[in-house]
């Protein structure tokens, strides 16, 4: 299926399945609206934020595709909660770059204001993009910040250091497919439910990959399936996760883990009480870092029967999986 057919099916899927007001029937003859962003002036807008602002709030006429030509877009971007049912498609993930450099402490800024791209709307596709926080290793500095539901991030590069990707919102659902995500400390963190499929997680420092804050009443947090963890030169001790909040839920299954994964696997964030509540598990991982003999006793090694119960259908639920399935191999 071609990229453009994929996008069409995706958007029509959102139009059909979405429960929010913005997801109504498509435009006449099933053609989605298209906006072209080209910083050199060859499109409808030279700024991605301007293009997003042009999308009608809760658009009753159906979905919109924003096609972004190659270039470095130095912008701090927000997709508001009233802008939904859109796809933002880059020309080339290596050359279509959204970059900003805010960080915690800059002008009294807190972590949650440091984003390069913040997604508050529901039913959003991001594809073929580099989203970068270029602040450097200076502390918390978010590249992608999400607060919406039913968000797909496909074939993107998410670049940063500490706190690269924040997934917010209790019960919100995301799917990351075929993405490259790099960082240092807690570089994937938050309370949302997220499925990561065939992603590369690149660790740039001896630290922690995840810091989930899954609420107690939410069954699933982060599921990494068929992903690969890689390490920068000199990195020798990385934990799979630590609980930002007590009921953090994270699973690594069918993944490739290098020798630099700390033998204990998981960290309690300096609080033994977290060991009673954190929900950490592994299944069928490969590589030197997948050895489980020295794993902490409070993390679980799943049986095949238990692992078989963790499916994308159960994690992301039927309405979203019908859309996600168009992007899976």
- What is the rounded CA–CA span in Å between residue 203 and residue 181? 9
**Radius of gyration of the chain from Cα atoms?**
19
The DSSP output letter for 275 is G
Name which of 36, 1, 30, 35 is nearest 16 in CA terms. 30
220 Ramachandran zone, left/alpha/beta (phi>0; psi -120 to 50): beta
Provide the 10 A C-beta neighbour count for residue 245.
18
Give the helix ranges, DSSP H, for 250-311.
Answer: 304-307
The DSSP output letter for 220 is -
Name which of 300, 253, 255 is nearest 277 in CA terms. 300
Residues annotated as catalytic (active site), given as ranges:
163, 186
Assess contact for 153 and 138: CB atoms under 8 A: no
Provide the 10 A C-beta neighbour count for residue 30.
12
- What is the rounded CA–CA span in Å between residue 225 and residue 59? 35
- What is the rounded CA–CA span in Å between residue 278 and residue 106? 33
Strands 71-74, 96-100: pairing kind: parallel
- What is the rounded CA–CA span in Å between residue 68 and residue 39? 9
By three-state DSSP, how is residue 252 classified?
strand
In degrees and rounded to multiples of 5, residue 186 shows phi and psi of 50, 45
- What is the rounded CA–CA span in Å between residue 51 and residue 272? 49
């Amino acid at each position: 299926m071609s990229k453009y057919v994929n996008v069409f099916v995706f958007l029509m899927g959102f139009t059909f399945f979405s429960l929010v007001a913005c997801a109504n029937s498509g435009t006449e003859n099933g053609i989605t609206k298209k906006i072209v962003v080209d910083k050199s002036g060859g499109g409808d807008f030279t700024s991605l934020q301007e293009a997003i602002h042009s999308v009608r709030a809760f658009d009753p006429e159906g979905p919109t595709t924003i096609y972004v030509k190659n270039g470095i877009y130095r912008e701090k971007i927000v997709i508001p909660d009233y802008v939904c049912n859109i796809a933002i498609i880059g020309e080339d993930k290596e050359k279509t770059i959204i970059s900003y450099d805010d960080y915690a402490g800059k002008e009294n800024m807190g972590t949650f204001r440091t984003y390069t791209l913040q997604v508050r709307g529901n039913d959003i596709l991001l594809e073929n993009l580099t989203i970068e926080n270029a602040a450097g290793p200076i502390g918390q500095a978010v590249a992608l910040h999400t607060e919406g539901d039913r968000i797909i991030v496909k074939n993107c590069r998410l670049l940063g250091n500490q706190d690269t990707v924040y997934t917010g919102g209790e019960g919100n659902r995301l799917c990351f497919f075929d993405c490259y995500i790099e960082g240092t400390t807690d570089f994937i963190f938050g309370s949302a439910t997220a499925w990561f499929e065939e992603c590369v997680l690149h660790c740039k420092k001896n630290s922690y990959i995840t810091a989930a804050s899954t609420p107690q009443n939410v069954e699933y947090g982060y599921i990494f399936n068929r992903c690969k963890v890689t390490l920068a030169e000199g990195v020798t001790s990385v934990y799979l996760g630590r609980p930002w909040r007590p009921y953090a839920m994270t699973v690594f299954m069918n993944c490739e883990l290098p020798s630099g994964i700390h033998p204990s696997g998981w960290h309690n964030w300096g609080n033994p009480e977290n060991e009673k509540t954190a929900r950490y598990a592994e299944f069928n991982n490969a590589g030197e870092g997948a050895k489980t003999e020295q794993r902490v006793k409070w993390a679980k090694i799943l049986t095949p029967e238990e692992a078989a119960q963790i499916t994308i259908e159960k994690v992301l639920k039927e309405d979203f999986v019908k859309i996600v399935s168009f992007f899976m191999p």
